[in-house]
Structure 1
Amino acid sequence: MYRLTVKDTFAAAHRLPDHPSPCHRLHGHNWEVNLTVVGEELGPDGMLLDFGVLKRILREVLSSLDHQYLNEIPPFGPAFPPTAENLARHIYHEVSSRLAPYTGVTLLEVKVGESPSAWVVYAP
């Protein structure tokens, strides 16, 4: 089994209105996202998937979040607050749909960090 991981970042603000900490106030993060795919078979080029393709897909997804107030953009809102957990799940599903044309490649997990010491991993 091969595992490929790429990383990218984006900056965005959010607030967690129902959280009993300073996080209920507007604040921002420089979010770091790690994306890992897996697969068994290499293509004729000796690759599972070109890193450039994987980076492009991740950048496409993150560009819709970059420099946004996350509470005001879909799919986030009162029923789906922009927590690190919900961000990871959202990014997972967005990337997964873009990977559909690449046979033999499966999205394993998405890791989202809001700081160097706090992150979440989503892997359904």
Structure 2
Amino acid sequence: MGRYFVTKEVRFCYGHRLLNHPGRCRHLHGHSVKAAVTASADRLDERGMVCDFGELKQAVAEFVKEKLDHTLLLHEADPLVPLLRAAGERFLALPEHPTAEVLARLIFEHVRAKGYPVVEVALWETDDSYACYREPFLRHASPEARQ
């Protein structure tokens, strides 16, 4: 039996640095990225959809706008954290290094927690490089679970 898939793309910008990176990524820099969130179901809801594109976009966008967009993402051990906190700057200190892989997982977890049958989030850090986070399919995701 086949499965249905829908994907919604969202674009945003963020800055970061990777403390343990041996190359240029150890320095502060920014990205203008695209995240592609894919939801899947083996049956369609009463509207004939896996989920509504607009509703899926809203679930992704609320997290991105609140936490990631135009935010400096740093590891919680980064020595800049206390300085940025004291200056009242917008930043997010993470317990993990703020890589594309970690951001894809964070978006995935947020959308899944909202009740959407997300199966993959791909995050393009550049035009030709992206990271994905996937988990096994939800077999009978209930459209009613979404709020």
TM-score by length of 2: 0.75
The aligned residue for residue 72 of structure 2 is: 69
Q: Specify the structure having the higher radius of gyration (Cα).
A: 2
Distance 2:45 2:105 in 1: 29
For 2:98, give the aligned amino acid. P
Task: Give the structure, 1 or 2, with the largest relative contact order (CA under 8 Å, sep 6 or more).
Answer: 1
TM-score by length of 1: 0.88
Which structure 1 residue ranges, 4+ long, deviate > 2 Å from structure 2?
none
Root-mean-square deviation over aligned CA pairs: 1.2
Note the C-alpha offset of 1:42. Answer: 1.6
Render the CA deviation track for 1:73-121: whole Å, top value 9, x for unaligned. 14x14xx01001111111111111012xxxxx52110001110111011
Distance 1:98 1:44 in 2: 19
Gaps of 5+ in 1: 100-104
Distance 2:45 2:111 in 1: 21
> Identity, % of aligned pairs?
34
Gaps of 5+ in 2: 75-90, 136-147
SS at 1:46 equivalent: coil
Q: How does 1:22-101 map to 2 (within 5 A)?
A: 22-63=24-65, 64-71=67-74, 72-74=91-93, 76-77=94-95, 80-99=96-115
